[in-house]
Copies of this chain bind each other. A is one copy, B any other.
Amino acid sequence: MKHMIAAMAGGFALLSGAFANDTEAAVAAARDWRTAHGADILSGFVDLLSLPNDANDAENIRRNADYISGLFKERGFQMELLESDEAPPLIYGLRETPGAERTIAIYVHYDGQPTEPAEWTHPPFQPRLYSRAMTEGGEEISFPLAGEAVDEDWRLYARSASDDKAPIPALLAAIDALDETGIGFTSNIKLIFDGEEEAGSDYLDDYLAAYADKFADVDLWLFCDGPTHQSGSPQLVFGVRGVTDMEVTVYGPNRGLHSGHYGNWAPGPGWRLAQLLASMKDEKGRVLIKDFYKSTAPISKAERAAIAAMPDIDDELRETFGLAETEMDNAPIAERLLLPALNLKGLKSAEVGALSRNVIPPSATASIGVRLVKGNDPEEMLNILEGHIKKMGYFITREDPDADTRARHPLIAKVTRSSGYPAMRSRMDDPRVSPLVGALRTVAGDELILNPSLGGSLPLYMFEVASTAPIVILPIANYDNNQHAADENIRIGNLFYGVDAYAAVLTMGAN
């Protein structure tokens, strides 16, 4: 896939001195600033990345929180660490803009995925610079000295280089560029930096409830996390899917039985599971369960238009992933992600391969994941699934069946339900978002993708509960950043795109 950002980050510089609005001036200032101060931006980022940030490492997480707070305090933010006994501090900040009628809240998470240093080329908290991606033949290079030029294809390797510390130096650089040139913000800016996102953000809703007054006046939530589109183009994303899970175990004999002595007499649980699963989804990928699609919010006109305008990456993805065909006769991925997904994450019954034995196993289990879209209630979707299993003749239990249950029911399914959370999808034609789209077009031009929804899940529904403001996601990281894995990295061009994009955000026009 192409790195369109490479072209973009440098390519859309407008003629200076001819700005149609403040955002154009701001983006130009940001570009000048990062061109002149690229080495300093990298050096500051290296300091931040050197602080280990596993959410479960309380001491280091606090060092991160204090350090980041300090950086924004120096830049005129009123900073506060919101505290909980059970979670890392939530970094909160506010910089008021005189006369501003709008408040933008910027979400970043400062914790990172746990690391397995043995799998890394270098220690995960000792950042290294490469001439390009290691996987593309890049070689380690020295960091530039102050004033030296910085190449957009360089990669900086460290845990959280992309996910999700990258927005911090980019935002700081954008602020410095604007402050230095005297270009004022057009909004009040609130910071909400999560310290336990990779550990599940279990306490985020508690924080939001406990400090509801701090967030009640937010007019736009900006989520700065995740990678750009697989095409390499920058994107603004309006939604995420929700998620829930169900595990289903069906039963055969109460012990493994010799497949010769009892084969084609004792029912095999694997056959039962196969029959049950085959009743749920057809060969094309259509879910056959009654009402599975019923609560799904329709695709709006604006969403259809956005999908039509997105780059067609489907053929390229199919080739990359070795798939001759995808579900529903190669239906476009962006459209598929606006439907709930029934995923089979795992299957298990006894053993296969060298460990396989001539036994009729006592049980067979399927791990089923459900990705939810706007309109789907997690609990209700599991009810629909469970209702289908019942309709197929199964008696539902929550525990392994006892002898009495076994004697009474030929078909028994143990169903284990997880809780999960709903999807979030903001209206693409919300007038509160339009200025942001315009501002980002100043940076990215027509390459900017407006994406109705990511396929993945984030608990953004929490912010829907907290306020009625639209929620959008503005990712900056390269999609090949090795997120969550060893040798996580950021492409410098993407970091720079972030500087420009945040300058646009901070100076975006009125609704």
Contact = CB atoms under 8 A, between A and B. Distances in A.
Contacts of A241: 260
Interface stretch (A4-12, A83-91, A338-346): A338-346
Contacts of A325: 267, 410
Contacts of A118: none
A254 B254 CA distance: 37
B456 A347 contact: no
Nearest to A365: B352
A319 interface: yes
A388 to B, nearest CB: 14
B406 A369 contact: no
Given A321-B254, A406-B322, A361 B337 contact: no
Interface stretch (A62-70, A98-106, A269-277, A463-471): A269-277
Interface centre among A280, A283, A319, A342 (most CB of B within 10 A): A283
A220 to B, nearest CB: 24
Interface in A248-270: 251-255, 257-270
A337 B278 contact: no
Nearest to A358: B369
Given A264-B336, A409-B324, A454-B261, A361 B342 contact: no
A326 interface: yes
A418 to B, nearest CB: 10
B361 A263 contact: no
Contacts of A247: 352-353, 356
A346 to B, nearest CB: 4
* Copies of the protein in its oligomer: 2
A39 interface: no
Contacts of A282: 275
B339 A364 contact: no
A352 B281 CA distance: 19
A408 B324 contact: yes
B243 A341 contact: no
A267 B346 contact: no
Contact of A274 (B273, B401, B406): B273
B369 A353 contact: no
Interface string A318-330: 0101111111000
Contacts of A243: 260, 358
Contacts of A273: 274, 347
Nearest to A456: B260
Nearest to A403: B322
A348 interface: yes
A366 interface: yes
A312 to B, nearest CB: 13
A398 interface: no
Contacts of A352: 247, 345-348, 365-367
Contacts of A34: none
Contact of A345 (B339, B358, B407, B455): B358
B263 A346 contact: no
Nearest to A326: B265
A372 to B, nearest CB: 10
Contacts of A278: 271, 274-275, 277-279
A491 interface: no
A359 interface: yes
Interface in A371-406: 371, 401, 403, 406
Given A243-B260, A348-B347, A285 B270 contact: no
A141 B252 CA distance: 39
A439 B270 CA distance: 45
A446 interface: no
B346 A270 contact: yes
Given A265-B336, A324-B409, A327-B266, A346 B361 contact: yes
Interface string A99-117: 0000000000000000000
Given A266-B321, A359-B345, A361-B345, A456 B274 contact: no
A426 interface: no
A75 interface: no
A361 B367 CA distance: 11
26 contacts: A247-B356, A259-B345, A261-B455, A262-B321, A262-B455, A263-B343, A264-B341, A265-B326, A265-B331, A265-B333, A265-B336, A267-B285, A267-B323, A268-B343, A270-B366, A272-B283, A274-B276, A275-B282, A324-B410, A344-B364, A345-B357, A345-B359, A346-B356, A346-B361, A347-B364, A353-B367
6 closest A-B pairs by CB:
A260-B456, A270-B344, A254-B322, A264-B341, A263-B341, A278-B278
